[in-house]
């Protein structure tokens, strides 16, 4: 299992990921090239924009990295 996951054509180290957007980006700007992509926020205010597939891979990788069996969702 790699410590990296690919988003936006970059190998992102999992330990640098702060959070991942649950919904795709929409701002309505004509010249926006992040439209429909998911923001992955990194340490130090950086962010990358992932496709839905890349975001799913990133989430899977993070879950695995944090201990596999555990799921981030709470059982209510």
Query: Which one of 1, 22, 27, 69 is in contact with Zn ion (CB under 5 A)?
Result: 27
Question: Cβ closer to Zn ion: 22 or 69?
Answer: 22
Residue whose entry in the numeric block shows the structure tokens 């640098």: 16
Task: Work out which of 3, 18, 32, 53 binds Zn ion, going by CB under 5 A.
Answer: 32
Chain-centroid distance, C-alpha 54: 7
- Please tell me the distance from the alpha carbon of residue 45 to that of residue 42, in angstroms, as a whole number: 6
C-beta closer to Zn ion: residue 20 or 34: 34
Residue 36 found at the interface with Zn ion (CB under 5 A): no
Taking the C-alpha atoms of residue 59 and residue 61, their distance in angstroms, rounded to an integer, is: 5
């Amino acid at each position: 299992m790699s410590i990296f996951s690919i988003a936006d054509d970059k190998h992102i180290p999992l330990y640098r990921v702060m959070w991942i957007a649950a919904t795709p980006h929409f701002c309505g700007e004509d010249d926006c090239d992040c439209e429909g992509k998911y923001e992955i926020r990194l340490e130090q205010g950086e962010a990358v924009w992932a496709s839905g597939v890349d975001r799913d891979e990133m989430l899977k990788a993070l879950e695995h990295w944090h201990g596999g069996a555990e799921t981030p969702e709470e059982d209510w």
